Amino acid sequence: MKYKEIIDIILDSNNIVFFGGAGVSTESGIPDFRSATGLYNRKNDTGYPPEYLLSHDFLVENEEGFSRYYKENLTSENAKPNITHKVLRKLEKMGKLKAIVTQNIDSLHQKAGSENVYEIHGNLRDFYCVKCGKTYDEKEVFSTSGANYCDCGGYIRPDVTLYGEGLPEQTIAQAINAIARADVLIIGGTSLVVYPAASFINYYQGNKVILINQEATSRDGFANYLVRDSLGNFFRELDERL
């Protein structure tokens, strides 16, 4: 088997943490952000860069435009978990995987059945009114194409971290604690260029970092074991050993 040594390390551990990015969900049909076909390289008719369209400033300036953009480009309502999500759930059920730290907002880990998931950039499941705090679910919000407003008149926004906003402090603390205590840290499907999220791996104190990414990253030297392949290929081979 191509990855026998690395998979042996995973099978020998009962304290694994998985740190993942957009590449985890591409095999579910959800585009990543920075590749040639990613969201940031798509043309849009606003004249603004995607980073601005997903910023707190744009939300405040243009609630209708912000709503239209995220509903057209970030929805994952029909996406299904892929082999990576499913095998991570298996590892969790086996007592091996202690936590998933994800930069994704698509909830596919939860759809696969994973329970201990730290969503450091929030999610598109939960919505709330910026004025009164009343909560709403995705079905209510995505049933319309434009902006949604609460009975109190406040704008209903997704519970995601936008550019210009701080990350959720409690979730970050829990994620860092899990990484710091892990025996094996698997990093997958992330370019490790988004900060401060990418810095969280620095809290790992062990010597079993498995980095899986199809393209080189600036943190390849941090890895003890480097896999230059798709997550699907690696996790399918891992699945055969479970």
If you search the block for the tokens 């099978």, which residue do you land on?
11
State the Cα–Cα distance between residues 165 and 121, nearest whole angstrom. Answer: 10
| 67 Rama class: left (phi>0) / alpha (psi -120 to 50) / beta | alpha
Report the Cα 65 to chain-centroid distance in Å: 24
Is 85 part of the annotated catalytic residue set? no
How does DSSP classify residue 104? -
97, two tokens: 């995987």
Whether the Cβ atoms of residue 101 and residue 19 lie closer than 8 Å to each other: yes
Cβ atoms < 10 Å from Cβ of 192 = 20
Whether the Cβ atoms of residue 205 and residue 179 lie closer than 8 Å to each other: no
Catalytic residue among 56, 85, 109, 121: 121
Residue 66: name the closest of 151, 132, 130 by CA. Answer: 130
Cβ atoms < 10 Å from Cβ of 218 = 10
Whether the Cβ atoms of residue 16 and residue 184 lie closer than 8 Å to each other: yes
- φ, ψ dihedrals at 42, nearest 5°: -85, 145
Catalytic residues: 121
